[in-house]
Every structure is written in C-alpha cells, then in structure tokens.
Amino acid sequence: MNKIVITGGTGFVGRSVCERLFEQDAGCRLVVPTRHLASGRALQVLPTVDLAGADVHDPQAIA
C-alpha cells in the first residue's frame, strides 16, 4: 500500500483532501504530520489516516 504525506492535513483544505481520498478509496495510507495531535481529532476517525507528531519545518523530525 502506498503512503502519501499530507502537509497541512489538519487545516481546512488538507482535511478535505484527506476526507476525499478516503471517500474515493484511493488505496493508500495517509500520513499527516502535525505539531499538535489534538488538532487532528477529525481525522482520527478515518482508518487510512496516520497522525504523526512532527514539525514539518524540522528536517530531523520528518526524516
């Protein structure tokens, strides 16, 4: 199964992208890095989304 990283996935547009990919059964895991895991509550109900505690501005965190 392919993995797609969605930066900004906890925001309005990113969350909509995640929801659309889930609805279309895109056959992939979505990895959503976020500094604040609580902001991803709406995505936690989607079984194909993995929230990752990481700051995308920190190269060590996303390596």
The pLDDT tens digits of the residues spanning 5-46 come to 999 999 999 999 999 999 998 889 999 999 888 888 889 899
Cα separation, 41 vs 10, in Å, equals: 9
Residue 57 has what pLDDT? 85
Is the predicted pLDDT of residue 50 greater than 70, yes or no?
yes
Average of per-residue pLDDT across 46-59: 88
